[in-house]
Amino acid sequence: MPIDRRTILGAVPVLLAAAEPAAGAPAAPEGALPGAYRYRLGAATLTALHEGTLARPLEASFIPNAPIEAVRAAMAQAFLPTDRLDITFTTLLIEAGGHRILVDTGFADNGPPGTGGTLRGLAAAGIERAAIDTVVMSHFHLDHVLGLRLKDGSLTYPNAEVLVPEAEWAFWMDEAAAARAPERLRPNFAAVRRIFGSGGPRVTRFGWDREIRPGLTALPAPGHTPGHTVFLLESEGARLLHLSDVTNHPALFVRHPDWSAVFDIDADQARATRRTLLDRAAGERLQVAFYHAPFPATGHVARAGDGYAFVPVQWGAPG
């Protein structure tokens, strides 16, 4: 059964953004260049891939537990627009131990204008889609999972084993959960079932606190979704903690970890997870990656006041 593209695309604005650019959002320059940033971690080579950007109006409903004035002040402090939020997406290619592992997929060609950069970035980096042997999913929100198939229904990464969190699979595949899902999550339930249904990828489920590929360990980070997972990559003593969607934009949610975006399915649990993992990253001075940090979406976390600050990596250093 081919993926019903209208159903999937219909769900994207619900989760992510208005279908139309937010007022005041300038158009991207024509002929945007692919964003691909390659860096090293021990013996591993990592390539951050700029999947794209969607702008959404910045309204009070986005962070229900913070005054909109405080949200706009945080944006201004970061020299960002105060009337819209540009949500960026960064997928991560890990080349280590003989594997080529893609962490999350973005939209492939199923997304709104301004997305799909992972495919352009892979091409720029000279990596064939067929050469990806592993796709690791942090969770099943549409901006992460839609890119498992192209819009013609074929597999984007035809030779990849797709590793998915057991708890995430259980949630989205549960008939009772689907039946009681709030309206805004229903298209996501439908899309997940179609993506993993007939003709879908070869799936292997994993439990938390397991090494799912050599040096790559899946760690629990529930709250954003029930099975939301982060990943610790270790190579020759170097470590990187991929924080997935533990925060949305760092200028808001690393700085103010108690603020909750509407995307968190269990806001209280997500907040506790966020505090725990940001504090670990800061305490251990771990290099981190995020899916929704500005490209190349890697850096460090420092304690700052009653929250934290994201310090982006310094592009251009040789290592």
User: How many of the other CB atoms lie within 10 Å of CB of 98?
Assistant: 8
Single out the residue of 15, 32, 150, 178 in contact with its own copies (rule: CB under 8 A).
32
Stretch that binds its own copies, among 34-42, 59-67, 154-162, 261-269 (CB under 8 A): 34-42
Q: How far is the CB of 39 from its own copies (least distance, A)?
A: 7
Burial (0-12, 13-18, 19+ Cβ within 10 Å), 67: exposed
Single out the residue of 13, 15, 18, 45 in contact with its own copies (rule: CB under 8 A).
45
Single out the residue of 17, 36, 71, 230 in contact with its own copies (rule: CB under 8 A).
36
Is residue 21 a contact point for its own copies (CB under 8 A)?
yes
**Positions in 154-173 near its own copies (CB under 8 A):** none
Could you give the string, one character per residue 109-138, with x where binding to its own copies holds by CB under 8 A and - elsewhere?
A: -----x---------xxx------------
Q: How far is the CB of 2 from its own copies (least distance, A)?
A: 31
Single out the residue of 9, 11, 16, 39 in contact with its own copies (rule: CB under 8 A).
39
**Positions in 78-107 near its own copies (CB under 8 A):** 78-80, 86, 88, 90
Is residue 27 a contact point for its own copies (CB under 8 A)?
yes
Stretch that binds its own copies, among 4-12, 179-187, 216-224, 297-305 (CB under 8 A): 297-305
Closest to its own copies by CB, 188 vs 298, is 298
Is residue 31 a contact point for its own copies (CB under 8 A)?
yes
Site residues (CB under 8 A) for its own copies? 21, 25-29, 31-33, 35-40, 45, 47, 50, 52-53, 55, 77-80, 86, 88, 90, 114, 124-126, 251, 285, 294-296, 299-300, 302, 311-319
